[in-house]
């Protein structure tokens, strides 16, 4: 694709730094590290072709439930168990290297894709395999996968978020164009890009804009911490249209699109990047959900639920790691677990983790039943922002100096859990 | 199917409990907070109403008596599969009543904790004699609070008279003065440890049961808290609940603990009801000042007061769901000791935290007696103390999670 050649663009080089008069080597190194960014063309995408267009869009549906129930159904149990196995056997062993490399191994993501994760939100009429609405199922899966590793989970699930968005809000044409690819053997890498780089980011007031032109739209702006940005073939992007935020479906590789690596404190395996949009021209059918602000707000809430589920998984990983550790580690002649100051911290993790989990499931179950769930998602998010971060911190604290080193995964979870309380989009249940 | 909404079949129960709380308890909240030790006569009417309603585990379950044993099934549940029964119903009713007034709720006739112990360990004959009566629980002693295994009150069998003779001191007995019965925990043999500790039913008018005084408290002043001295207090030997065997665990100390498994989610429910009252009133007062929570925007994009209210509400929601989980497990006969303690730990600390911070958010309006917020903040503290303090709950949770005995993790 011709546009691909255009975008290699060294923003700063060491020569430039020299000319800027930065003589101190350490300072120079710092500047190079932070400024030397590469902007590349977005991934070369497959050609998305319309297939099996239905007369009207297909949706999953769920009847309202009657009783309070915390037991997953058989399908959920089966899916969750297989994902949990995968997370324990394949994801966890790969987590440390993926964190260091700031990328999940391609073959591992391919294996994850083979689990059919991308198609969970796709209606059966369009080749999916889950009949009822899938928010709870997706939450259980995200939790299970994130117990293996949060970063790899985000990488493995970001595409599913785009598929779910199309399944929920796509018209028949959008569904026919894209969804069959998500149920194929090699689903496209894709991500929902809502977050922007400015402090105090408010997803309801975006700097990325869409203006109407020639019957279509022209998008400009920068999206931050987009999972797998460089590899994505498809994005769902939030942009301000007529003063209100709206969602657009963007295929990669178009003129004006470029990505820049944006490694962060945590969820590094998700290979986060910035997506630059410079006067990107898109057709009228790029607009998702008719630009309805309610659809956009729901996407934000579903994004938060995705991160809440990831936090529940990462928090579980912390709890299960510190339990045996404090039982085995001896100090002052007895196991750490015999001391209240230590044991109570573990109990505190269990208490808050269970609260996060239940609040997330409640919001997800309300979403599936067609009940309003913005409040419930916000509450789950608030729990994650406060207690999720604390769980990460306590996990390191319980291992003391050992926890601070990369010999143990708790420092990674410390970094990962912070993301769950602050990222908007990226995931979508 | 995973669903964390409360079932519609309990809507009627919740509505009636809420109306009672709003129309009977709230209007006299302040009055009995000021008139400590005065009997809230309005409660007789409430108790009669509750006795009358008793639907599907119903409001009668707002007292501890309905939980503790029996199956959790309510009419209309299918024979197999998921149940939403009396534990859940009790919790939901109780949350509403506690929203009204926790002190008055604790003072409710025939709702004493002692009834939970009776329900848990009494035999059929004892159930007939004591069931449905107002029974207070007398465990705590001046030298034995959370450490209930070190009870010193003794029970000595007088074979000839066929009576037990109780001697000792009991403090912090909720509704102790007003109840008809006291379930007094005493040891048959102070050298035999926990297994010798048994519950004995003592009629309130027993001359050997001497009221020492009523406590003056930080909050829940509508509820009397009595201290007793037992002086050669003679009771029929049939009033020992459960087995007199000191070797067997049933009905003894394990019985107390089992009682607590069932009542901890209910105390959590009290904190949840009280905290909801705080949040609702604070929300109203802040709205008058133009501050409202926006659930779509991030906390940092809102006024600090709104962000704080959001954070408090989130902790409230977590506590509520944890309590529902524990009750639901009890309804489905799943062992829930861990979840019951998790619910109590979270709700206890949440209740105090929410109540105090709501007062602070409202400033003088919250702190003054013109609102009930300051009263709720005083009431809340007991909920993180009785039925197992925060620290006891954490011990229970930690011992289970870490596989520690009480000798290892003290």
Q: Which CA distances in Å does B191 have to A29, A210, B66, B152?
A: 73, 81, 35, 10
The pLDDT value recorded for residue A14 is 36
Question: pLDDT band for position B179 (50/70/90)?
Answer: very high
pTM: 0.91
Burial of A4 (0-12, 13-18, 19+ CB in 10 A): middle
Are the CB atoms for A329 and A403 separated by under 8 Å?
A: no
Question: pLDDT band for position B166 (50/70/90)?
Answer: very high
Q: How many helices (H) and strands (E) does chain A have?
A: 14, 13
Cβ atoms within 10 A of the Cβ of A172, count? 15
Each residue's pLDDT, cut to its tens digit, for chain A (429 residues) gives 222 222 222 223 334 334 444 444 334 333 333 444 568 888 877 889 888 788 889 988 887 789 999 999 998 999 999 999 999 999 999 999 999 999 999 999 999 998 888 889 999 899 888 888 899 999 999 999 999 999 999 999 999 999 999 999 999 999 999 999 999 888 999 999 999 999 999 999 999 999 999 999 999 999 999 999 999 999 999 999 999 999 999 999 999 999 999 999 999 999 999 999 999 999 999 999 999 999 999 999 999 999 999 999 999 999 999 999 999 999 999 999 999 999 999 999 999 999 999 999 999 999 999 999 999 999 999 999 999 999 999 999 999 999 999 999 999 999 999 999 999 999 999
Q: Which of A69, A326, A424 sits opposite B3 (nearest CB)?
A: A69
The pLDDT value recorded for residue A4 is 26
Least confident of A166-175, A362-371, B43-52, B229-238: B43-52
Are the CB atoms for A317 and A395 separated by under 8 Å?
A: no
In whole numbers, what is the pLDDT of chain B averaged over residues?
Answer: 89
Q: Do B314 and A377 touch (CB under 8 A)?
A: no
Are the CB atoms for A166 and A288 separated by under 8 Å?
A: yes
Q: Could you tell me where the DSSP H helices lie in A66-149?
A: 74-86, 92-101, 106-114, 135-148
Residue of chain B nearest A336, judged by CA positions: B409
Q: Which of B7, B295, B318 sits opposite A378 (nearest CB)?
A: B295
Question: pLDDT band for position B59 (50/70/90)?
Answer: very low
Q: Do A69 and B402 touch (CB under 8 A)?
A: no
**Chain B residues 281-340 within an 8 A CB cutoff of chain A:** 295-301, 310-311, 313-315, 317-319, 321-322, 324-325, 328, 339
Q: Could you tell me where the DSSP H helices lie in B85-216?
A: 86-100, 102-106, 114-121, 124-130
Q: Which of A334, A374, A379 sits opposite B317 (nearest CB)?
A: A379
Res. B60: pLDDT tops 50: no
Residue of chain A nearest B348, judged by CA positions: A351
Res. B205: pLDDT tops 80: yes
Tens-digit pLDDT profile for residues B331-347: 999 999 999 999 999 99
Instruction: Report the pLDDT averaged over residues B199-207.
Output: 96
Q: What does the domain layout of chain A look like in residue ranges?
A: 74-190, 293-423
The pLDDT value recorded for residue B248 is 56
Residue-range domains of chain B with CATH: 8-117 (1.10.540), 134-239 (2.40.110.10), 253-402 (1.20.140.10)
The pLDDT value recorded for residue B65 is 39
The secondary structure element, H or E, covering residue B180 is none
The pLDDT value recorded for residue B257 is 67
Superfamily for domain range A74-190: Acyl-CoA dehydrogenase/oxidase, N-terminal domain (1.10.540.10)
Ranges of beta strands (E only) in B120-222 are: 135-138, 154-158, 163-174, 181-187, 197-203, 209-214
A127 φψ region: left (φ > 0), alpha (ψ -120 to 50), beta (else): left
Superfamily for domain range A293-423: Butyryl-CoA Dehydrogenase, subunit A, domain 3 (1.20.140.10)
Are the CB atoms for A420 and A313 separated by under 8 Å?
A: no
Q: Which of B301, B317, B401 sits opposite A359 (nearest CB)?
A: B317
Burial of A215 (0-12, 13-18, 19+ CB in 10 A): exposed
CA distance B17 to B350: 23
CA distance A8 to B196: 81
CA distance A421 to B221: 41
Residue linked to tokens 């971060």: A389
Q: What are phi and psi of B212, to 5 degrees?
A: -85, -50
For chain B, report the end-to-end CA distance as a whole number of angstroms.
40
Instruction: Report the pLDDT averaged over residues B271-283.
Output: 98
Least confident of A91-105, A321-335, B247-261, B291-305: B247-261
Contacts of A371 in chain B (CB under 8 A): 5
Instruction: Report the pLDDT averaged over residues B142-161.
Output: 90
Cβ atoms within 10 A of the Cβ of A265, count? 10
Q: What is the DSSP letter of A65?
A: P
Q: Do A355 and B319 touch (CB under 8 A)?
A: yes
Q: Do A350 and B84 touch (CB under 8 A)?
A: no
The pLDDT value recorded for residue B209 is 97
CA distance B252 to B224: 27
Selection from B194, B198, B165, B174 nearest residue B184 by Cα: B198
Instruction: Return the bridge partners of B226, or none.
Output: B173, B214
Q: Which CA distances in Å does B14 have to B48, B55, B327?
A: 17, 11, 16
Selection from A405, A148, A407, A173 nearest residue A285 by Cα: A173
If one compares B11 and A129, the residue with the highest pLDDT of the two is B11
The pLDDT value recorded for residue A36 is 45
Contacts of A359 in chain B (CB under 8 A): 314, 317-318, 321
Contacts of A425 in chain B (CB under 8 A): none
The pLDDT value recorded for residue A197 is 97
Q: Which CA distances in Å does B171 have to B117, B138, B139, B225?
A: 18, 7, 8, 8
Residue of chain B nearest A301, judged by CA positions: B296
Q: Does B387 qualify as catalytic in the annotation? A: yes
* Cβ–Cβ contact B398 with A under 8 A: yes
CA distance B171 to B182: 12
The pLDDT value recorded for residue A28 is 37
Res. B365: pLDDT tops 50: yes
- Could you tell me if the ipTM is greater than 0.85? yes
- Residue of A238, A324, A378, A422 best to disrupt the B interface, most CBs of B under 10 A: A378
Closest Cα of chain B to A78: distance in Å?
14
* Cβ–Cβ contact B409 with A under 8 A: yes
The pLDDT value recorded for residue B113 is 78
Q: Which of A67, A334, A346 sits opposite B3 (nearest CB)?
A: A67
The pLDDT value recorded for residue B167 is 98
CA distance A342 to A339: 5
CA distance B408 to A330: 13
Beta strands B181-187 and B135-138 are parallel
């Amino acid at each position: 694709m011709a546009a691909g050649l255009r975008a290699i663009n060294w923003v700063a080089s060491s020569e430039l730094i020299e000319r800027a008069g930065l003589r101190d080597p350490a300072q120079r190194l710092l500047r190079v590290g932070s400024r030397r960014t590469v902007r590349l063309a977005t991934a070369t995408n497959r050609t998305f072709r319309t297939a099996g267009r239905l007369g009207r869009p297909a949706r999953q549906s769920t009847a309202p439930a009657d009783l309070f129930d915390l037991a997953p159904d058989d399908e959920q149990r089966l899916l969750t168990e297989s994902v949990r196995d995968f997370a324990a056997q394949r994801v966890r062993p790969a987590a440390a290297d993926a964190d260091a490399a700031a990328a999940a191994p391609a073959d591992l993501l391919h294996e994850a894709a083979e689990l059919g994760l991308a198609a969970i939100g796709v209606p059966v009429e369009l080749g999916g395999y889950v009949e009822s609405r899938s928010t709870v199922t997706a939450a259980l899966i995200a939790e299970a996968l994130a117990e293996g590793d949060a970063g790899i989970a985000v990488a493995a699930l970001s595409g599913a978020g785009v598929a779910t968005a199309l399944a929920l809000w796509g018209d028949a044409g959008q569904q026919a164009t894209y969804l069959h690819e998500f149920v194929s053997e090699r689903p496209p890498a894709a991500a929902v890009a809502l977050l922007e780089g400015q402090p105090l980011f408010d997803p309801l007031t975006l700097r990325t804009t869409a203006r109407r032109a020639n019957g279509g739209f022209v998008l400009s702006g920068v999206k931050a911490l987009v999972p797998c940005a460089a590899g994505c073939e498809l994005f769902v992007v939030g942009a301000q249209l007529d003063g209100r935020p709206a969602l657009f479906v963007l295929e990669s590789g178009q003129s004006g699109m470029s990505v820049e690596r944006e490694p962060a404190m945590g969820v590094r395996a998700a290979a986060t990047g910035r997506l630059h949009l410079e006067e990107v021209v898109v057709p009228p059918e790029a607009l998702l959900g008719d630009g309805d602000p309610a659809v956009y707000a729901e996407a934000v809430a579903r994004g938060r639920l995705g991160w809440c589920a990831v936090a529940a998984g990462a928090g579980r990983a912390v709890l299960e790691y510190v339990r045996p550790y404090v039982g085995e580690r001896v100090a002052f002649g007895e196991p750490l677990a015999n001391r209240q100051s230590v044991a109570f911290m573990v109990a505190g993790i269990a208490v808050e983790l269970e609260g996060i989990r239940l609040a997330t499931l409640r919001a997800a179950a309300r979403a599936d039943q067609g009940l309003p769930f913005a409040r419930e998602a916000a509450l789950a998010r608030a729990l994650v922002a406060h207690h999720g971060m604390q769980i990460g911190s306590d996990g390191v604290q319980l291992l003391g100096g050992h926890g601070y080193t990369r010999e143990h995964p708790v420092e990674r979870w410390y970094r990962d859990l912070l993301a769950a309380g602050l990222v908007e989009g990226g995931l979508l249940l | 199917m995973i669903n964390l909404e409360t079932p519609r079949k309990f809507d009627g129960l919740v509505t009636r409990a809420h109306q009672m709380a709003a129309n009977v308890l709230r209007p006299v909240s302040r009055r009995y907070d000021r008139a400590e030790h005065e009997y809230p006569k309005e409660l007789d009417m409430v108790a009669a109403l509750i006795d009358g309603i008793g639907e599907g585990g119903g409001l009668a379950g707002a007292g501890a008596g309905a939980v503790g044993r029996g199956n959790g099934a309510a009419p209309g549940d299918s024979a197999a599969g998921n149940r939403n029964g009396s534990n859940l119903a009790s919790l939901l009713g109780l949350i509403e009543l506690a929203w009204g007034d926790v002190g008055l709720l604790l003072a409710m006739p025939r709702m004493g904790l002692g009834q939970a112990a009776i329900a848990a360990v009494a035999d059929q004959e004892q159930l007939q004699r004591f069931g449905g009566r107002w029974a207070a629980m007398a465990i705590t002693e001046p030298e034995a609070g959370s450490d209930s295994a070190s009870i010193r009150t003794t029970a000595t069998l007088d074979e000839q008279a066929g009576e037990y003779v109780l001697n000792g001191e009991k403090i912090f007995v909720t509704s102790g003065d007003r109840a008809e019965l006291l379930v007094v925990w005493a040891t048959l043999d102070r050298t035999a440890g926990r297994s010798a500790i048994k519950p004995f039913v003592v009629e309130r008018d027993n001359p050997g049961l001497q009221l020492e005084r009523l406590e003056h408290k930080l909050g829940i002043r509508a509820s009397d808290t009595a201290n007793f001295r037992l002086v050669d207090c003679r009771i029929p030997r049939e009033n020992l609940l459960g087995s007199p065997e000191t070797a067997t665990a049933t009905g003894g100390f394990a019985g107390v603990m089992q009682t607590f498994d069932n009542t901890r989610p209910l105390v959590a429910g009290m904190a949840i009801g009280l905290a909801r009252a705080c949040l609702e009133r604070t929300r109203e007062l802040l709205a008058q000042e133009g501050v409202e929570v926006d659930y779509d925007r991030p906390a940092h994009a809102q006024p600090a007061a709104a962000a704080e209210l959001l954070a408090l509400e989130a902790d409230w929601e977590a506590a509520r769901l944890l309590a529902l989980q524990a009750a639901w497990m009890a309804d489905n006969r799943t062992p829930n000791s861990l979840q019951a303690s998790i619910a109590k730990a979270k709700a206890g600390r949440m209740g105090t935290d929410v109540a105090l911070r709501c007062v602070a958010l409202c400033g003088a309006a919250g702190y003054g007696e013109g609102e009930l917020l300051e009263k709720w903040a005083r009431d809340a503290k007991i909920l993180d103390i009785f039925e197992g303090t925060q620290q006891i709950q954490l011990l229970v949770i930690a011992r289970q999670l870490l596989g520690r005995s009480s000798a290892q993790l003290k």
